[in-house]
Amino acid sequence: MNQPMVRIEGARKTFHAGTINEVRPMAGIDLAIAEGSFVIVLGGNGSGKSTLLNAIAGSFMLDSGRIELDGQDVTGWPEHRRASLIGRVFQNPFSGTAPTMTIAENFALAAKRGLTRGLGWVPSRQLRDELRERVFELKMGLEDRMDTAIGSLSGGQRQALTLLMATWLKPRLLLLDEHTAALDPKSADQVIALTDRIVSRERLTTLMVTHSMQQAVNLGDRIVMMHKGRVLHDYDALHKRRLRADDLLACFEDIRRRELLDESAAEMLHSQYV
């Protein structure tokens, strides 16, 4: 691999260390992601998927390890500095946009990201024209509603617009954290199709967290499977092409079976000493 877009080395993070609530969602992660790669991140609840994305985005500092983005060591960079390189979409469709502002105003703000001066939240003529074209492509009938407050739209419409906003300036890295999980099935399908279109058209380096095995087999060129704060499996494009949703389900069942065995072994050990 030439210089990867993301390089993570020996990343560790423990929350609430030394207390009864101690959790270790990053237990030593090494990962290199090539420019233009679309990586699906899978794993059970609490395996550390969102924490991985948050660590890259700089939502917290690592206990140890290093993160490089686009060839730069960003380990010590605060979140707002990394935001100039990263587009993010979260699970909650109400979190990525300003609800009382119109579609056009929200996009004017998105277009300002990374710039300190020059543009305000009043959209220019050029932005409006470009926006209308891109919103028309969504086929959600929103192109005539540019001056509607975003808060009055459905979750699916908002999430589609949030995705468009997050990718407007072609970020070096796109982070999608279960961005369709809160949507009804039809809207989720629409947003997934849009995701696929934008990511392939712009060749965006992308990490997408999902619980959907179907999305995992249909999208992207690599699957990273997390377990207990580590990368348990890493399937490259060749391997991924042969995978079916059933294979991934079987993999999850195997993890669960091993966990149950570990739990009962621990209980047996505990009962011998109590």
Q: Which residues bind ligand ATP (CB under 6 A)?
A: 15, 23, 25, 43, 45-51
| Cα gap 175→171, rounded to integer Å | 10
| Cβ distance to ligand ATP smaller for residue 108 or 192 | 192
In the complex, least distance from residue 233 CB atom to ligand ATP, rounded to whole angstroms: 15
Pairing status of strand 64-69 against strand 206-209: unpaired
| Cα gap 58→12, rounded to integer Å | 13
Q: Which amino acid appears at position 47 of this protein?
A: S
**β-sheet with 38-43: strand ranges across:** 86-89, 173-177, 206-209, 38-43, 222-227, 230-235
In the complex, least distance from residue 265 CB atom to ligand ATP, rounded to whole angstroms: 22
- The conformation of residue 188, written as its DSSP 8-state character, comes to H
| Cβ distance to ligand ATP smaller for residue 88 or 131 | 88
In the complex, least distance from residue 30 CB atom to ligand ATP, rounded to whole angstroms: 17
In the complex, least distance from residue 247 CB atom to ligand ATP, rounded to whole angstroms: 20
Could you write out the three-class secondary structure of 2-22?
CCCCEEEEEEEEEECCCCCCC
In the complex, least distance from residue 44 CB atom to ligand ATP, rounded to whole angstroms: 7
**3 state SS of 33:** strand
In the complex, least distance from residue 124 CB atom to ligand ATP, rounded to whole angstroms: 38
Residue 260's Cβ-count burial label (10 Å; 0-12, 13-18, 19+) is: exposed
In the complex, least distance from residue 50 CB atom to ligand ATP, rounded to whole angstroms: 3
Phi, psi (rounded to 5 degrees) for 33: -120, 120
- The conformation of residue 102, written as its DSSP 8-state character, comes to B
Task: For tokens 């543009």, name the residue.
Answer: 119
For the chain, how many residues are written? 274
| Cβ distance to ligand ATP smaller for residue 169 or 245 | 245
| Cβ distance to ligand ATP smaller for residue 22 or 254 | 22
| Cβ distance to ligand ATP smaller for residue 58 or 123 | 58
| Cβ distance to ligand ATP smaller for residue 150 or 231 | 231
| Cβ distance to ligand ATP smaller for residue 134 or 230 | 230
